[in-house]
Amino acid sequence: MTSHIPIIAIDGPSASGKGTVAKLVAEKLNFHYLDSGSIYRTIAYAGRLQNIPLNNETLLLNVLENANLSFKNDQILLNGKDVSEAIRTEESGRGASEVAVHRALREAILGFQRSFEKSPGLVAEGRDMTSVVFPHAGIKIFLTASAQIRAERRYKQLISKGNPANMTSVLSEIILRDERDLQREISPLLKTKDAIEIDTDTLSISDAVDNITHLFSLKSQTS
């Protein structure tokens, strides 16, 4: 697949900062933004509302087919209701990794994800943006950080939003999520050969954003 629309694809493990970085890069470049993880979180959330086991792919596909999922500004709408905050819980994060293992579900979502590829450009973040969804992206980034640093970030994020959190539990969940993402058979988290790795252990969000926009600027000058 080839495209004249510039795409910056960013993959990375949970709480690596890719969501914040990707959104800021998109704002800086005035590009569209795709948070692919929110799609899986919303499906998990909708499934739980209907008491559907997240290991039942057939029923989850029915949930997806009957759900009206849309993005409006910073809002994620499910059947017209803003679920942006509801899907940011640790439970929804766990649910996302559980539903993400289903092949048919991932294939059904693929077209929706690719519909975000529009002018003037797109910044897409997730776990298989560089490898599966946008393998033709002009810039591919693998944003990572140690499990400890990522757990500290997630803990602070949860506390700041008034959600109950335990540091030990958050770290355990991060490690478990990594195992699921790396070991799943369908679209596992991986660093593609042509992706540039950015470690944010000691790098600020603004520095990571500047690094990526600089890469885009250099790419634009040579293409």
Give the mean pLDDT of the chain: 93
Residue 173 lies in a domain: yes
Tens of pLDDT, residue by residue over 179-215, are: 988 998 888 999 999 999 999 999 999 999 999 999 9
Residue 16 lies in a domain: yes
pLDDT score of 21 more than 80 = yes
- 16: domain CATH number is 3.40.50.300
Residue 17 lies in a domain: yes
Residue 218 lies in a domain: no
Expressed as residue numbers, the domain containing 11 is 7-205
Q: What predicted TM-score, i.e. pTM, was given to this entire model? A: 0.92
Query: Regarding predicted confidence, which is higher, 12 or 158?
Result: 12
Tens of pLDDT, residue by residue over 127-165, are: 999 999 999 999 999 999 999 999 999 999 889 988 888
Residue 212 lies in a domain: no
Residue 101 lies in a domain: yes
129: burial class by Cβ within 10 Å (0-12, 13-18, 19+)? buried
Q: Which residues have CB under 8 Å from 143's CB, separation 6+?
A: 10, 11, 12, 16, 17, 18, 21, 197, 198, 200, 208
Query: Regarding predicted confidence, which is higher, 73 or 111?
Result: 111
